Structure 1
Amino acid sequence: MTEPLVTTSSQTVGPFFAIGLPWEDGPFVVPAGTPGAFHIAGRMVDGTGEPVPDALIETWQADPDGRFDHPDDPRGAVSSGFRGFGRCATDVNGRFEFLTLKPGALPGQAPHVDVSVFCRGMLRRLVTRIYFPDSDNSADPVLALVDSEFRHTLIASVAPFGYRFDICLQGQDETVFFDV
């Protein structure tokens, strides 16, 4: 007689993201040396401020003309070498960095970069956005949904290399994440 099947307990995910998913060109949304390219760099931390060393950050964005390098955008990206997608594992200090171009505004939206966060202990990705402090973000409908007290967690800061955007998973400085 066989034993009845029983549901097993769920398990946390990872830390496998930093092992199998990154690739050498992943952080380069555009090739090095692309005119106008800059870095978006930051650090991912947990609720106590400790670095998350084995996470994976993905970005997806429009090119400077507000076009996507994707079949669903019939206009297509016009920037040479622009991929629109980036993937970077965090290092032992929780740091990540992308080389990209500033995205153009989409119809009815401010320039932004979509971000997905994958890390151990999470069964679903977290989704957020990076907005730019030197863009007019006032009419963006997504940013307008965020309580004004927390909007700053979605706006990068200007840095010598381009922009800095830190991701905090929990706590007082928690980055706003969207339920998608």
Structure 2
Amino acid sequence: MTDLPRTTPSQTVGPFFALPDGLPWPDGPEVVGTEEPDAILLRGQLIDGAGEPVPDGLIEIWQADERGRIQHPDDPRDDSTSFRGFGRCATNAEGRFWFRTVKPGALPTPSGGTEAPHINVTVLARGMLDRVVTRIYFPDEPRANAVDPVLSAVDPERRATLVAVPETEAFRFDIRLQGDDETPFFAV
């Protein structure tokens, strides 16, 4: 039986195969390579309801390219992209995660409007019955953020928790699963 993958202890979600062996993604957190001139770093920490880091979480991102194009059959635009726009990162012992990507462009809405540039985020972690989904918005898009239909639906006092914070050579986006400054999550 030594050929079988080892599993994590039984949890509400799972059991998962122990990371990083399980749920592999070939490029991990590298949505774009280091040679990409417009690459940005996105860093953060996954924090539980008691304010403690979550060392066994999994963060996934999915996004459009810098022109707002997505690689998906539902994107009807004829100049679709080959940009995959997906990354996956397990949290480390301090609950930290990171991604190298590009800042996405604005996306059209079905009603003819526009969504502000954003990155979709999925979080899986111990003790959760299901994944949670949120978004990361950018601080240099105040006008677009003000009219984004999803961000506008969030309580004004909580909107700032969805906007990344600029740091030296990176953006920071911490995810709080519960408690003070809990990250807003969306039903999808």
Identical residues among aligned pairs (%): 62
TM-score by length of 2: 0.84
Of 70, 77, 81, which aligns to 1:77? 81
Where in structure 2 are there 5+ consecutive unaligned residues? 1-9, 109-113
**CA distances 1:65-116 after superposition (whole Å, capped 9, x unpaired):** 00012233243226xxx32011110001000000000000012110000000
- Alpha-carbon distance in 2 for matches of 1:104, 1:36: 12
Q: Distance in 1 between matches of 2:86 and 2:70?
A: 10
Partner-residue secondary structure (3-state), 2:171: strand
Structure 1 equivalent of residue 150 of structure 2 = 142
TM-score (norm 1): 0.87
From 126, 133, 139, give the equivalent of 1:127. 133
1:37 aligns with: 39
Equivalent residue of 2:49, what SS? Answer: coil
CA distance in 2, matches of 1:33, 1:178: 34
**Offset at residue 11 of structure 1 (A):** 5.8
8 Å CA contact 2:59–2:124 kept in 1: the answer is yes
**Cα offset, 1:14, TM superposition:** 4.0
**Is 2:106–2:117's contact at 8 Å kept on the other side of the alignment?**
yes
Unaligned runs of 5+ in 1: 1-9
Alpha-carbon distance in structure 2 between the residues aligned to 1:114 and 1:31: 20
Aligned length: 168
CA distance in 2, matches of 1:24, 1:94: 21
The offset of 1:59, in angstroms, is 0.5
SS of 1:143's equivalent in the other structure is helix
The amino acid of 1:30's aligned partner reads V
Q: What is the CA–CA distance in structure 2 between the aligned matches of 1:40 and 1:94, rounded to whole Å?
A: 14
1:115 equivalent in alignment to 2:121: yes
Q: Which runs of 4+ in 1 moved over 6 A?
A: none
Is residue 163 of structure 2 the alignment partner of residue 155 of structure 1?
yes
Deviations 1:140-160 (A, max 9, x none): 010000010100110000011
Contact 1:30 1:83 in 2 (8 A): no
2:186 counterpart of 1:167: no
Q: 8 Å contact 1:28–1:98 — kept in the other structure?
A: yes
Distance in structure 1 (CA, Å) of the matches to 2:74 and 2:102: 21
* Amino acid in the other structure paired with 1:130: I
Q: d(CA) in 2 for partners of 1:134 and 1:90?
A: 27
- 1:91 aligns with 92
1:16 paired residue number = 16
Distance across 2 between alignment mates of 1:11 and 1:130: 28
Query: Aligned runs of 1:48-87 on 2, under 5 Å?
Result: 48-74=50-76, 75-77=79-81, 82-87=83-88
